[in-house]
Amino acid sequence: MQAPAPQPGIMEIELYQGGASKVPGVEDVLKLSSNENPHGAPESAVAAAREAAGAMHLYPSTDHAGLRRAIAEVHDLDAARVICGVGSDEVLHLLCQAYVGPGDEVVHPAQGFLMYPIATRAAGGTPVAAAERDRVVDVDAMLAACGPRTKLMFLANPANPTGTMIGGQDVVRLADGLPEGCLLVLDGAYVEYAGDFDGGLGLAGVRENVFVTRTFSKMYGLGGLRVGWGYGAQAVIDVLNRIRGPFNLSNVALAAAEAAMRDRDFVARCAEDNRVQRARLTEGLRDLGLGVDASEANFVLARFENEAAARDCDAALKAQGIIVRHLAGYGLPHCLRMTVGDAAGVTRLLEGMAAWARA
């Protein structure tokens, strides 16, 4: 007897590889491969999680009212139009499940986040990659990639893994140029690192065809708890809530995320430190002769002469217990993505890079 055949598209999904976290034989590992917060989780969130853990025998809230209220107050949004998911990954999956089926297309930048094609294929749809221009999203190419079957357009801004951004005018041009019935999804995983850009929340507030996703995994230091959220038109939120699991977020995760959202001092401190350390890292890498675009996120993309050099550097860093991300899977085999650490982390990375360059 055979197992049933999976739905079309599923076997075309390449397994997502998370950032490595271990080096055999090395104890003091510096993990710079997943863009986690080097300062850890906010103490306020850890305390809230501990307290909530005492009630883990009880089912959590189904409507996430407390967390949605905190998000809405901090960002000046309508709480009824916020949806919370198991990481923003779940929100991306819900969007695909709700709006994409066999024969439908989803446009994403060629060097875009790998979850976009994965979530598209999981729903039976076809991902369509639009070429970028010098590692920056090309608005014209994105619009040219749209057709009558395009249901979603995914775009991280700032982008991962390039760290580059497109401006507010370009985002409006994308929203204006979309075919009828297509939703622009602005993935704001790194917005908190990008100065005073609102990540498109203002646009999503007034346009039915714009949706924003955000995460607690990066700036808020809660990657292990899996909390993200989305904001968009009430009609879209109502659709997504029908397919969202009623108990998708645990009470521990909800409590921690709410506390983290309200901890504006933590966010301000981390943003400032990232700005300073990102500049140090960018300059240090450029001094070594590497190509580095100005990053608006909490990582930088280092470009090497060729793939062999990138692989050689990756191995040399690993031997020193420093884990960065080689981007072969993103079509950037000559590049390494490096999370911006704290001051000591950046120093250790730059010293490791200098040792590799001398060898």
Ligand X SMILES: *Cc1c(COP(=O)(O)O)cnc(C)c1O
Residues at the contact surface with ligand X, assessed by CB under 6 A = 35, 87-89, 113, 156, 160, 187, 189, 215, 217-218, 223, 228
Q: What is the dihedral of CA 37, 42, 46, 47, to 10 degrees?
A: 180
Closer residue to ligand X in complex, CB, 266/330 = 330
Closest of 144, 98, 145 to residue 119, by C-alpha: 98
Closer residue to ligand X in complex, CB, 21/306 = 21
Shortest distance, position 34 Cβ to ligand X, whole Å = 8
d(C-alpha 202, C-alpha 25), whole Å: 49
Closest of 202, 259, 232, 188 to residue 76, by C-alpha: 202
Closer residue to ligand X in complex, CB, 243/308 = 243
Shortest distance, position 191 Cβ to ligand X, whole Å = 11
Q: Could you give the C-alpha distances from 123 to 84, 117, 151, 199, in angstroms and in order?
A: 20, 10, 12, 26
Shortest distance, position 160 Cβ to ligand X, whole Å = 4
Shortest distance, position 288 Cβ to ligand X, whole Å = 25
Q: Could you give the C-alpha distances from 291 to 118, 206, 284, 303, 336, in angstroms and in order?
A: 29, 39, 11, 5, 11
Closer residue to ligand X in complex, CB, 125/230 = 230
Closest of 272, 271, 280 to residue 345, by C-alpha: 280
Closer residue to ligand X in complex, CB, 190/266 = 190
Q: Output the residue with the shortest Cβ distance to ligand X.
A: 87
CB 327 within 8 A of CB 161: yes
Beta-ladder partners of 249: none
Shortest distance, position 173 Cβ to ligand X, whole Å = 21
Closer residue to ligand X in complex, CB, 221/284 = 221
117 upstream amide cis, omega within 30 of 0: no
In 3-state terms, what secondary structure has residue 108? strand
Shortest distance, position 68 Cβ to ligand X, whole Å = 16
